[in-house]
């Protein structure tokens, strides 16, 4: 028997009481994962990546961003990539929209789901959005209003929720206020980002409790963890125990934060799927197909995937 013929290793299923029965995985690899890649990735490869992720069972795939090409050259081909995606009736393909011009381009492309990207700290808002902590909401308001007018669902990302490389510790009350303002603008969902990967499980629990005390239910919240210090899965379990049922992840662990030394990228979707499978939580993803997709993308990028599960299972994937 060859390695390829050996039975696929899977985790034992041992459910933990009180966790969500199903988790919605928001796959961010094609946008958040690829946006900082320095080598140009052909539009056809991006389309194939998205199509393969859909075939693997992922039902929310953040596909690109209608951002100024000068800001993110890797995503300058959004108008070429988005229309070429093989549409699956049960899959949503949100795009990131930074401003009104981006919103106009998204509407012209027939986008039905968008996301806006905010900051929980003033310094990051200045550096990433050319705005301020308060001023960013004036920038988002017309974008969200236009989306609502066109029947487009809006997701709000909130970055620097657990730590900022310039400001250090971020007060919980400040994060809750910024997140609540995004929801009040009309965002259907708020994704809480550990942008530099410094969060620990206790912080996650405390922040989610603070949102609950402010009247924001967990059904409105998602989590977005980076694995800089190896805490992404632990933080995910903490969020699941608080009732969060939407988790962002990136196939193969693609992506990272340019502001954190040694940042190893987003929580790998394969690692998340292994965790959820072991806990008996439904997710709908074919792990073999997903691993094969990440092995394929790693080949295009010319480096191995940082995902532990891809490293463990990838040798039998093609």
Q: Is the torsion defined by CA of 205, 206, 210, 211 positive or negative?
A: negative
Q: Three-state DSSP class for 26?
A: strand
Tokens 């992720």, residue located: 53
Strand partners, 114: 95, 154
CB atoms within 10 A of CB 229: 17
How many helices (H) and strands (E) the chain has is answered by 11, 9
C-alpha angle with apex 254: 316 to 7, nearest 5 degrees? 20
Using an 8 Å Cβ cutoff, are 155 and 188 in contact? yes
Catalytic residue, from 161, 187, 242, 257: name it. 257
Residue pair 207/224 in contact (Cβ under 8 Å)? The answer is: no
Helix, strand, coil content of the chain in percent (nearest 5): 45, 15, 40
Asked if 187 is an active-site residue, the reply is: no
Strand order of the sheet with strand 153-159?
Answer: 60-61, 24-27, 246-249, 221-225, 189-194, 153-159, 113-119, 95-96, 64-65
Which residue numbers are catalytic?
257
């Amino acid at each position: 028997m060859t390695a390829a013929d050996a039975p696929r290793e899977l985790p034992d299923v041992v459910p933990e009481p009180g966790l969500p029965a199903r988790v919605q995985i928001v796959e961010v690899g094609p946008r958040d994962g690829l946006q900082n890649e320095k080598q140009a990735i052909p539009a056809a490869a991006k389309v194939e990546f998205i199509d393969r992720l859909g075939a693997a069972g992922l039902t929310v795939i953040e596909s690109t961003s209608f951002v100024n090409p000068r800001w993110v050259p890797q995503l300058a081909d959004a108008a070429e990539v988005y229309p070429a995606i093989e549409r699956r009736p049960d899959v949503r393909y949100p795009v990131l929209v930074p401003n009104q011009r981006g919103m106009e381009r998204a509407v012209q492309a027939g986008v039905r789901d968008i996301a806006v990207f905010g900051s929980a700290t003033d310094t990051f808002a200045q550096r990433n959005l050319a705005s301020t902590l308060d001023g960013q909401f004036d920038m988002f308001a017309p974008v969200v209003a236009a989306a609502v007018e066109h029947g487009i669902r809006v997701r709000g990302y909130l970055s620097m929720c657990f730590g900022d490389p310039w400001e250090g510790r971020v007060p919980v009350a400040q994060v809750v206020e910024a997140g609540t303002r995004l929801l009040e603008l009309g965002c259907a969902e708020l994704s809480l980002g550990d942008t530099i990967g410094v969060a620990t499980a206790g912080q996650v629990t405390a922040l989610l409790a603070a949102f609950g005390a402010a009247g924001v239910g967990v059904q409105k919240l998602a989590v977005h963890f980076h694995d800089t210090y190896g805490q992404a899965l632990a933080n995910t379990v903490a969020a699941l125990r608080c009732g969060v049922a939407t988790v962002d992840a990136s196939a193969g662990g693609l992506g990272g934060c340019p502001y954190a030394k040694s940042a190893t990228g987003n929580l790998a979707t394969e690692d998340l799927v292994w965790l959820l499978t072991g806990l008996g939580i439904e997710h709908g993803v074919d792990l073999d197909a997903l691993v094969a997709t990440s092995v394929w993308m790693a080949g295009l990028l010319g480096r191995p995937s940082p995902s532990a599960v891809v490293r463990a299972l990838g040798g039998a994937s093609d």
